[in-house]
Amino acid sequence: MPNVSTNDTKDSKDSQVDCAVMDMGQTEPAMKTSTKKTERSTGKPTPGSVEWYEIRKENHKKVERKRRETINQAMLDLGKVIPGNEKNKSRILSRAVQHIQGLVEEVVGLRQQVDQYREANLKYQNEIADLKARLEAQGRHQDGDLQQRNSLSPS
Q: Is residue 155 part of a domain?
A: no
Cα 21 to Cα 115: distance, rounded to the nearest angstrom: 88
72/105 same-domain check: no
pLDDT category of residue 40 using cuts at 50, 70 and 90: low
Q: Regarding predicted confidence, which is higher, 115 or 139?
A: 115
Dmax (CA) for the chain in angstroms is: 145
Q: Residue type for 70, please?
A: T
74/96 same-domain check: no
103/58 same-domain check: no
**pLDDT over 70 percentage in the chain:** 67
Range of the domain at 134: 88-149
76/99 same-domain check: no
Q: Is residue 154 part of a domain?
A: no
Interval 17-43 mean pLDDT: 48
Q: Is residue 125 part of a domain?
A: yes
CA-based nearest residue to 41, from 31, 27, 54, 55: 31
Q: Is residue 129 part of a domain?
A: yes
Q: Is residue 114 part of a domain?
A: yes
**Number of structural domains found in the chain:** 3
pLDDT (tens digit per residue) in 59-78: 999 999 999 999 999 999 99
10/27 same-domain check: yes
pLDDT (tens digit per residue) in 85-120: 888 999 999 999 999 999 999 999 999 999 999 999
Distances (CA, A) of 55 to 29, 34, 65, 77, 136: 34, 22, 15, 33, 90
75/93 same-domain check: no
73/112 same-domain check: no
Q: Is residue 53 part of a domain?
A: yes
53/26 same-domain check: no
111/63 same-domain check: no
Q: Is residue 38 part of a domain?
A: no
Q: Is residue 54 part of a domain?
A: yes
In this predicted structure, what is the pLDDT of residue 141? 76
95/145 same-domain check: yes
69/107 same-domain check: no
